[in-house]
Amino acid sequence: MKKILFGTTALLAAGAFVSTAQASDPIKLSLGGYMENYVVGASQDGDFKKANRVNNFDVQSDSEVWFKGLTTLDNGMKIGVQVELEAGSNASSQTDTIDESYLWLEGKYGKMILGSEDDVVYLSHVGAPDASYIGGGFKDGSIANIMPVGSGVSASDTIYAVTGDANKMSYFTPKFYGLQAGVSYIPSNATNGDDGPTASGKGFASETIGISQNWDDAWAFAVNYDTTVSGVGVKANVGYITMDDNTKAVKDNTIQTVRGGLAVSYQGFTLGGSVNRMIANGDTSASLAALDGFSWDAGLQYAEGPYAVSFGYEHAKVAGSRAADADTMSDWRVGAKYAMGPGVDLFAFVAYVNTNDGAVADNSTSNDGAIGGAVGLRLNF
């Protein structure tokens, strides 16, 4: 009942948000997106290579096509839509066809987002700068595709999208002297929501409303700050996520994430970093219990004209299986980028990675001491 009341209230609020204004022009879709193709090479840890068949050289890609639409109502309200189609060449490894699909409304009272999109904490993230397109973390970036963390390692990072692209409603306030707040509500982690047919629902038949078996009723709160003082740019954010674990073995267990980041820029230099603490230690069978722990990153970037170069470090320590010591991950990385023309970037990336499975004494399932890199092109369209 509380979900029905909440949804009804949200719809009424959205109606008031739009008012009775009419659009001057209908929404027409346009295309956007990006395409990355790059060659990679890596030398994995010896024990890891014995336990896994790996290549020293590969060709990888990451591409999306965006369908975007926008119209402006007579009262100045903007309404838009975005649908992101996965277009990578490694189709066999993709878990979805449509990455994100959502609509948004923006006016003098702020911005509302409805649909399959990241929460406000993820969208507000500030962290270590990266000149290439490979970095970003063990969970969110592409570094683990080049140097895998190992089958027994529970990977985490500061930008991990805890609520993912589950359907949600989000709201950002207008910016006031560079300060902005946001909130997201996510009924469940099911990509298509809880209102689909399911045999595991709490009703009397498979056609009744079902409840996700991982978590539901999640809230995300964020505050971000963006300003320039005497030529010095400052970006900062803090975020908090809370969700109710919904596994059958765990009742009334709350999972929490606290996150923060800061970046300062001056005359082409940007120094930034972020920290993340996930609290999910209620039970070993909880869906996110293995990621209970701490992660942080820091980096420095210099950009001048079409050139950019960065250096960064990342470290994470999480509970893992809880059978022994914690799992750890760290990497040192150097990234570079050169804008060859409008929407065409040449980029490169080199990293040294250490990952350890705390439950395996000989590290045979870890990738401890891998070195790898990538060179490629990114096309933005």
Please report whether residue 355 resides in a domain: yes
Please report whether residue 202 resides in a domain: no
Q: State the pLDDT at residue 151.
A: 72
* Burial (CB count <10 Å: 0-12, 13-18, 19+), residue 126: buried
Please report whether residue 132 resides in a domain: yes
- pLDDT greater than 80 at residue 358: no
Query: 117 lies in which domain range?
Result: 2-195+212-380
Q: State the pLDDT at residue 261.
A: 97
Please report whether residue 206 resides in a domain: no
Q: State the pLDDT at residue 2.
A: 45
User: Is residue 274 within 8 Å of 126, Cβ to Cβ?
Assistant: yes
Q: State the pLDDT at residue 89.
A: 62
For residue 202, what pLDDT band results from cuts at 50, 70 and 90? very low
Please report whether residue 200 resides in a domain: no
Which range (25-29, 251-255, 287-291, 313-317) has the least confidence? 251-255
- pLDDT greater than 80 at residue 21: no
Please report whether residue 347 resides in a domain: yes
> At residue 75, what is the residue type?
N
* pTM to 2 decimal places: 0.85
> At residue 190, what is the residue type?
A
**pLDDT digits over 306-335, tens only?**
999 999 999 999 888 766 678 889 999 999
Q: State the pLDDT at residue 204.
A: 36
What is the percentage of the chain residues whose pLDDT exceeds 70?
Answer: 79
Secondary structure class of 328 (helix, strand, coil): strand
Domain harbouring 284, CATH code = 2.40.160.10
The token pair at 275 is: 């920290």
Q: State the pLDDT at residue 22.
A: 52
Q: State the pLDDT at residue 331.
A: 92
The whole-number average pLDDT for the span 131-145 is: 84
- The rounded mean pLDDT for the chain is 83
Q: Where are the alpha helices (DSSP H) in 103-236?
A: 120-123, 143-146
For residue 288, what pLDDT band results from cuts at 50, 70 and 90? confident
The whole-number average pLDDT for the span 127-135 is: 91
The whole-number average pLDDT for the span 202-225 is: 66
Q: Is pLDDT larger for residue 66 or for residue 28?
A: 66
Secondary structure class of 7 (helix, strand, coil): helix
Please report whether residue 66 resides in a domain: yes
For residue 356, what pLDDT band results from cuts at 50, 70 and 90? confident
Please report whether residue 74 resides in a domain: yes
User: Is residue 361 within 8 Å of 342, Cβ to Cβ?
Assistant: no
The whole-number average pLDDT for the span 67-81 is: 93
Split into its structural domains, the chain has a count of 1
The whole-number average pLDDT for the span 49-58 is: 78
The whole-number average pLDDT for the span 15-31 is: 66
The token pair at 95 is: 């878990």
